[in-house]
Copies of this chain bind each other. A is one copy, B any other.
């Protein structure tokens, strides 16, 4: 017992949550523990076009270092760490056949398809050949994104559709996007995105005038009916903000001590969005946004305990290839610079400014949430209940 505590403390030093802190968490304990994310879920790692045929990519997901290669169009993923001496294969990738990689140090050679140590170049009579496997990761591509299943070797891999927001995979939904690295824990990212009153930081965004948005300074929910959950057994698990006029009130006028000091844009043509939802493992859907014709889907993918990959995508329903091309052009000319950069840059800035307070995990005890954070509480509960495992130090390194 004492040894176990000591071991856990040792791990803490690598960025995991202290059990003394977890013991004090009343709501969403598993979520607070999941500093490195939830295990046994699908995560988008990068865009398909970033990995050409026969090319390599590396990704760090939930602290695990992964090497990916595209072979005959299909993407394969293996642990980026030789079994023998633990060196990263990616430091100098040597492929003597298309579907294997040989470690640059001693020639240990693995098959991408199943991870088998199929040969050792330079020691071809070794008894370990054919007996060991490097970890492989299931990979799927959808909507131009490469998804990796980060989980246990024997875990029954669920359909990708269970781990992305509804509508994202719809056949007529065209998707465009970009990614960047944010210096904040993935949960800081998720809660910034789902937080309904953080629109205060966007009050001067160029997107407002560019798309004539009616943007309030804040939103006040009226009681517990403001939030809804989707928890079907065979589908994605998520929490919705209910934006119905009976349950949420937009605030356009800012007052301080009785004095009117600020005004939102109540007369904008576009009153958006109507529907915001957060999905396991770490995806947000804002619908419609930033235009009545668009939906934003975005992910906050844990790199480690301190950083996340911010995958931003916009979707539009298209009827044919012409409409898809039109959307692609519009995305590059308008929505990427004005929305994904211009508007969301405020969010990236806010997340990085919040990170310090939560970095030592004590922020979860010291924060003082208020009424509009009710949806965040529901998200923490849902994530704690439906996640498929917590990433721990034993999975990394």
Chain B residues within 8 Å of A102, by CB: 256
Question: With A and B bound together, what is the CA distance between A237 and B18 in angstroms?
Answer: 41
Q: A43-75, CB under 8 A of B: which get 1 and which 0?
A: 000000000000000000000000000000000
The interface bits of chain A over 95-112 (1 if a CB of B lies within 8 angstroms of the residue's CB, else 0) are 011001010111101000
Q: Which residues of B contact A18 (CB under 8 A)?
A: 10
Interface string of A349-392 (1 = CB under 8 A from B): 01001101110101100111111100000000000000000000
The answer to whether A217 touches B121 (Cβ under 8 A) is yes
Q: Which of B9, B97, B251 contacts A123 (CB 8 A)?
A: B251
Name A259's contact: one of B2, B84, B87, B97 (CB within 8 Å).
B97
Shortest CB distance A149–B (Å): 23
Which residue of B is nearest A81, CB measured? B357
Q: How many copies does the complex hold?
A: 3
Q: Give Cα A367 to B251, complex, Å.
A: 60
A171 in contact (CB, < 8 A): no
Q: How far is the CA of A255 from the CA of B121 in the complex (A)?
A: 6
- A218 contacts B357, CB within 8 Å? no
List residues 78-100 of chain A with CB under 8 A from any CB of chain B. Answer: 81, 83-88, 91, 96-97, 100
Q: Once the chains are docked, how many angstroms separate the CA of A2 from the CA of B102?
A: 47
Residue of B at shortest CB range from A102?
B256
Does A120 sit within 8 A of B, measured CB to CB? yes
Q: Does residue A200 face the partner (Cβ distance < 8 Å to B)? A: yes
Residue of B nearest to A96 (CB): B261
A368, B132: Cβ atoms under 8 Å?
Answer: yes
Chain A interface: which size bin?
35 or more
How distant is the Cα of A43 from the Cα of B220 in the complex, in angstroms?
42
State whether the Cβ of A153 lies closer than 8 Å to any Cβ in chain B. Answer: no
Chain B residues, Cβ within 8 Å of A264: 122
A122 contacts which of B200, B353, B362 (Cβ < 8 Å)?
Answer: B200
Report whether A368 and B123 are in contact in the complex, using a CB–CB cutoff of 8 Å. Answer: no
Q: Of B85, B120, B362, which contacts A354 at CB under 8 A?
A: B85
Q: Of the candidates B121, B257, B366, which one forms a contact with A119 in the assembled complex, judged by CB atoms under 8 Å apart? A: B257
CB distance from A224 to the nearest CB of B (A): 14
A206: which B residues are within 8 A, CB to CB?
Answer: none
Task: For A121, give its contact among B84, B96, B107, B254 (CB under 8 Å).
Answer: B254
Query: What distance in Å separates the Cβ of A238 from its nearest Cβ neighbour in chain B?
Result: 23
Q: Does A233 contact B (CB under 8 A)?
A: no
Q: How far is the CA of A100 from the CA of B257 in the complex (A)?
A: 9
Given the known inter-chain contacts A20-B6, A354-B87, please indicate yes or no for A96 contacting B197, CB distance below 8 A: no
Contact A370 B128 (CB under 8 A): yes
Let me know if A3 is at the binding interface, CB within 8 A. yes
A84 contact set on B, CB distance < 8 A? 367-370
Check A217/B251 contact, CB under 8 A, given A10-B20, A85-B367. Answer: no
**Which chain B residues lie closer than 8 Å to A362 at the CB level?**
397
A191 nearest CB across to chain B (Å)? 9
A5 touches B (CB below 8 Å): yes
Interface residue A13 (Cβ < 8 Å from any Cβ of B): yes
In the complex, 8 of the A-B residue pairs with CB atoms within 8 angstroms, ordered by the A residue number, are: A2-B2, A86-B366, A87-B354, A96-B254, A97-B256, A100-B256, A120-B370, A132-B368
Q: Other CB < 8 Å A-B pairs besides A105-B201, A121-B217, 11 of them?
A: A2-B2, A5-B6, A6-B20, A83-B368, A84-B368, A86-B367, A106-B198, A120-B370, A123-B371, A127-B370, A366-B397
